[in-house]
Amino acid sequence: SQQGEEDPQALSIQEGENATMNCSYKTSINNLQWYRQNSGRGLVHLILIRSNEREKHSGRLRVTLDTSKKSSSLLITASRAADTASYFCATDPPAAGNKLTFGGGTRVLVKP
Amino acid sequence: DTEVTQTPKHLVMGMTNKKSLKCEQHMGHRAMYWYKQKAKKPPELMFVYSYEKLSINESVPSRFSPECPNSSLLNLHLHALQPEDSALYLCASSQGLAGGRAKNIQYFGAGTRLSVL
């Protein structure tokens, strides 16, 4: 079953603009990850934020986590056409073994 | 090497055929996964192998049969599939629980695009 819901489902921006997408989840988590998927390809891990962290940066990516609201956001700054992809959050609840539960995804289109 | 290799890239099969999907990783990962993904949907977990033993089966129909011959290889045997089984099948691997909870970062292959006629 799907743990996370992502918002918006789709996003269209111009190159150079920032893209923000949100993820909400239902249960407690050990950590939250974000993945990118280019069309018809496999997923690529972008960033992991632990449940005791509030913000994390990696290059042009900034992730926040609010465990009290059970939500996370992913910000891509100065977007490029190559950032066009679907972005998924994935949660790792306690006692779930190796299982990740993916959100519904946000499809991002960056127009040149 | 952070690569997970899946073969074939594309597969077309009839409902009476038997085929297999293959997945290989050489990262020393001890957990391997099969996912099914429909268009514009997130990946749905099918199976998890941990230390070469099946640890999670997400109530997948028996026409899908996973196999883990060794720690680097994962197969998915297909038999008597239905047209609704057409999807992108993704394999992934991770360090497994020995890598700690924070190491459940999964590395994905490029997938097998399966069409069932």
Smallest Cα–Cα separation from B103: which of A50, A39, A105?
A: A50
Q: Which residue is it, tokens 């079953």?
A: A1
pLDDT band at A1 (very low <50, low <70, confident <90, very high): very low
Which DSSP state fits A15? T
* Close Cβ partners of B85 (under 8 Å, ≥ 6 residues apart): B36, B63, B64, B78, B114, B116
Q: Which residues from A are below 8 Å from B97, CB to CB?
A: 97-98
Q: Is A43 close to B31, i.e. CB distance below 8 A?
A: no
CA atoms B58, A85, A103, B28: torsion sign: positive
pLDDT at B97 over 70: no
The Cα A75–Cα A65 span in angstroms is 12
Residue in chain B nearest A105 by alpha carbon: B42
User: Before A93, cis peptide (omega within 30)?
Assistant: no
Which DSSP state fits B17? -
User: Of A24-28, A43-47, B27-31, B94-98, which range is least confident?
Assistant: B94-98
Q: What is the pLDDT of residues A34-93, one digit of tens each?
A: 999 999 899 999 999 999 999 999 999 999 999 999 999 999 999 999 999 999 999 987
Q: Which residues from A are below 8 Å from B48, CB to CB?
A: 97-99
pLDDT band at B61 (very low <50, low <70, confident <90, very high): very high
Kindly report the average pLDDT of chain B as a whole number.
Answer: 92
* Close Cβ partners of B90 (under 8 Å, ≥ 6 residues apart): A42, A43, B6, B34, B35, B36, B37, B43, B108, B109, B111
The Cα A64–Cα B98 span in angstroms is 27
Q: Which residues from A are below 8 Å from B55, CB to CB?
A: 97-98
The Cα A14–Cα A64 span in angstroms is 23
Predicted pLDDT of residue B100:
53
pLDDT band at B42 (very low <50, low <70, confident <90, very high): very high
A74 is written with which tokens? Answer: 């992913």
Smallest Cα–Cα separation from B115: which of B73, B65, B81, B70?
A: B81
Q: Which residue is it, tokens 């045997």?
A: B77
Predicted pLDDT of residue A8:
92
Q: What is the pLDDT of residues B6-20, one digit of tens each?
A: 999 999 999 999 999
